[in-house]
A and B are shown apart, each in its own frame.
Chain A
Amino acid sequence: MKTDIVLAGVGGQGILTIATILGAAALADNLYIKQAEVHGMSQRGGSVVTYVKYGDKVASPIVQKGQADLILAFEQLEAARWLPFLKTDGTMIANTQQIDPMPVVIGTAEYPAGVLDAVRATGADLTEIDALSLAVKAGSPKAVNVVLIGVMASHMEIAYNVWENAIRATVPEKFLELNLKAFEYGYSYSK
Chain B
Amino acid sequence: MKTKRLLLGDEALALGAINRGLSGAYAYPGTPSTEILEFVQKDPVSRARRLHSHWSSNEKTAMEAALGMSYCGKRAITSMKHVGLNVAADPFVNSAMTGANGGLLVISADDPSMHSSQNEQDSRFYADFAMIPLLEPCNQQEAYDMARHGFSLSERCHIPVLVRMVTRLAHSRAVVECDAAPLPENELHYPANPRQWVLMPAVSKERNRQLIKDQEQFRKESEESPFNRYEDGPDKRLGIIASGIAYNYLQEIFGGRVPFPVLKIGQYPLPLEAMRRLYDACDALLVLEEGQPFIEKQVRGLLYHGKEIYGKLSGHVVRDGELNPDEVAAAMSALCADAAGLKLHCKREVSELVVPRPPALCQGCGHRDVYAAMNAALEKYADAKVFGDIGCYTLGFLKPFNAIDSCVDMGASITMAKGAADAGQFPSLAIIGDSTFTHSGMTGLLDAINEDTNMVVVISDNLTTGMTGGQDSQGTGKLEQICMGLGADPAHVRTIDSLPRNVPDITALFEEEINHKGLSVIISRRECIQTARRHASAKNKAQSPKA
Residues of chain A at the chain B interface (Cβ within 8 Å): 10-11, 19, 23-24, 26-27, 32-47, 51, 57-62, 64-67, 77-78, 80-81, 83-84, 86-88, 101-106, 108-112, 114-115, 118-119, 122, 173-174
Q: Which of B173, B361, B546 contacts A33 (CB 8 A)?
A: B173
> Given the known A-B contacts A40-B31, A46-B358, A59-B256, are A65 and B172 also in contact in the complex, defined by CB atoms under 8 Å?
no
User: How distant is the Cα of A32 from the Cα of B175 in the complex, in angstroms?
Assistant: 7
Report the minimal beta-carbon distance from A107 to chain B, rounded to whole angstroms.
9
CB neighbours of B116 from chain A (8 A): 39-41
Could you jot down 22 A-B contacts, CB within 8 Å? A32-B175, A33-B174, A35-B174, A36-B171, A38-B115, A39-B31, A39-B116, A43-B359, A44-B360, A44-B395, A45-B357, A59-B139, A60-B249, A60-B252, A61-B172, A62-B325, A81-B357, A83-B348, A87-B345, A106-B399, A118-B351, A118-B353
A69 to B440, CA, bound (A): 47
**Interface contact B168-A80, CB-CB below 8 Å:** no
Chain A nearest CB from B4 CB (Å) reads 7
Q: Using a CB-CB cutoff of 8 Å, which residues 326-370 of chain B contact chain A?
A: 326, 345-351, 353-362
How far apart are the CA atoms of A58 and B547 in the complex, in Å?
42
**Distance in Å from the Cβ of A73 to the closest Cβ of chain B?**
12
Choose among A58, A61, A80 the residue with the greatest number of B CB atoms under 10 Å from its CB. Answer: A61
Q: Are A84 and B350 in contact (CB under 8 A)?
A: yes
Partner of A40, one of B358, B362, B468: B468
Residue of B nearest to A123 (CB): B348
Which residues of chain B are within 8 angstroms of A64 by Cβ–Cβ distance? 324-326, 345
Residues 140-168 (chain B) with a chain A CB within 8 angstroms = 167-168
Pairwise interchain contact A102-B326, C-beta atoms closer than 8 A:
no
Cα A11 to Cα B530 with chains together (Å): 13
Contact with A along B417-450 (1 / 0, CB 8 A): 0000000000000000000000000000000000
A45 and B365 CA atoms in complex are apart in Å by 13
A interface, over-half SS: mixed
Q: Which residues of B contact A32 (CB under 8 A)?
A: 174-175
Is B203 interfacial (CB-CB < 8 Å)?
no
Residues in A with CB closer than 8 Å to B355 are: 77, 101, 103-104, 109-112
B350 adjacent to A33 (CB under 8 Å): no
Inter-chain contacts of B347 with A (CB < 8 A): 65-66, 84
Say whether B346 contacts A88, CB under 8 Å.
yes
| Cβ A66 vs Cβ B346 within 8 A | yes
Whole-angstrom CA separation of A148 from B547 in the bound complex: 29
What A residues does B398 contact at CB under 8 A?
A: 102
Q: Are A42 and B359 in contact (CB under 8 A)?
A: yes
**Which residues of A sit under 8 angstroms from B233, Cβ to Cβ?**
none
Contact of B360 among A33, A45, A58, A114 (CB under 8 A): A45
Q: Across the interface, do B171 and A62 meet the contact criterion of CB distance under 8 Å?
A: no
Task: Report whether B469 and A39 are in contact in the complex, using a CB–CB cutoff of 8 Å.
Answer: yes
- Identify which of A35, A57, A80, A118 contacts B172 (C-beta below 8 A): A35
Which 3 A-B pairs rank lowest in CB-CB distance, beginning with the nearest?
Answer: A40-B116, A46-B359, A61-B172
Residue of B nearest to A46 (CB): B359
| Minimal beta-carbon separation of A85 from chain B (angstroms) | 8
Known contacts A24-B6, A34-B174; A77 and B31 CB within 8 A of each other: no
Q: Are B172 and A44 in contact (CB under 8 A)?
A: no
Q: A46-B358, A46-B359 are in contact. Are A23 and B468 (CB under 8 A)?
A: no
Alpha-carbon gap, A58 to B141, bound state (A): 13
In the complex, whether B32 has a CB less than 8 A from a CB of chain A is yes
Given contacts A41-B116, A59-B256, A106-B399, contact A83 B351 (CB under 8 A): yes
Cβ–Cβ < 8 Å partners of A41 in chain B? 115-116, 359, 467
Q: Which of A37, A80, A106 is B351 in contact with, Cβ under 8 Å?
A: A80
What string of 1s and 0s marks CB contacts (under 8 Å) between B350-392 and chain A?
A: 1101111111111000000000000000000000000000001
Docked pose: A117 CA to B303 CA in angstroms: 58
Q: How far is the CA of A168 from the CA of B194 in the complex (A)?
A: 55
Given that A64-B345, A67-B345, A80-B353 are known contacts, is A46 also in contact with B6, CB under 8 Å in the complex? no
Chain B residues with CB below 8 A from A111, complex form = 355
For B345, what are the chain A residues with a Cβ–Cβ distance below 8 Å?
A: 64-67, 87
Residues of chain B within 8 A of A51, CB atoms compared: 172
Name the residue of chain A whose CB is nearest to the CB of B547. A174
What residues on A are CB-neighbors of B547 within 8 Å? 174
Q: B251 an interface residue at 8 Å Cβ cutoff?
A: yes
Given contact pairs A88-B346, A101-B355, A101-B357, A39 touches B6 in the complex (Cβ within 8 A): no
Bound Cα distance A85, B247 (Å): 22
CA distance A38 to B325 in the complex (A): 18
Q: A32-B175, A101-B357 are in contact. Are A66 and B6 (CB under 8 A)?
A: no
A40 x B348 contact (CB < 8 A):
no
- B487: A residues at CB distance < 8 A: none
Chain B min CB distance to A32 (Å): 6
Nearest A residue to B395 via CB reads A44
Is B121 in the interface zone, CB < 8 Å from A? no
Contacting B325 at CB < 8 Å: which of A60, A77, A84? Answer: A60
- CB-CB nearest in chain B for A45: B360
Closest to B31 in A: A40
Inter-chain contact A40/B353, CB cutoff 8 Å: no
Tell me whether A80 and B358 are in contact (CB under 8 A). Answer: no
Is residue B169 within 8 Å, beta carbon to beta carbon, of the partner chain? yes
Q: Whose C-beta in chain A lies nearest to the C-beta of B34?
A: A39
Closest partner residue, chain B, to A173 (CB atom): B546
- A61 to B168, Cβ gap below 8 A? yes
Check if B400 is an interface residue, CB within 8 A of chain A.
yes
Contacts of A34 in B (CB 8 A): 172-174
B172 touches A37 (CB 8 A): yes
Interface assignment of B248: CB less than 8 Å from any CB of chain A: yes
Task: Give the Cβ gap from B274 to chain A, nearest Cβ, in Å.
Answer: 21
Q: Are B356 and A103 in contact (CB under 8 A)?
A: yes
**B350: contacting residue among A45, A81, A108, CB under 8 A:** A81
Which of A19, A26, A38, A66 has the most chain B CB within a 10 Å cutoff? A38
* Cα(A26)–Cα(B173), bound, Å: 12
Pairwise interchain contact B359-A77, C-beta atoms closer than 8 A: no
A33 to B468, CA, bound (A): 26
CB distance from A109 to the nearest CB of B (A): 5
Residue in A45, A88, A108 whose beta carbon sits within 8 Å of that of B359 in the complex: A45
**Partner among B31, B256, B354, B359 whose Cβ is within 8 Å of the Cβ of A81:** B354
A67 to B345, CA, bound (A): 7
Residues of chain B lying within 8 A (CB to CB) of residue A40? 31-32, 115-116, 467-468
Complex formed: what's the CA distance from A86 to B351 in Å?
13
Q: Would you call B171 and A80 a contact (CB within 8 A)? A: no
**Chain A residues near B468 (CB, 8 Å)?**
40
Residues of A within 8 A of B362 (CB): 44-45
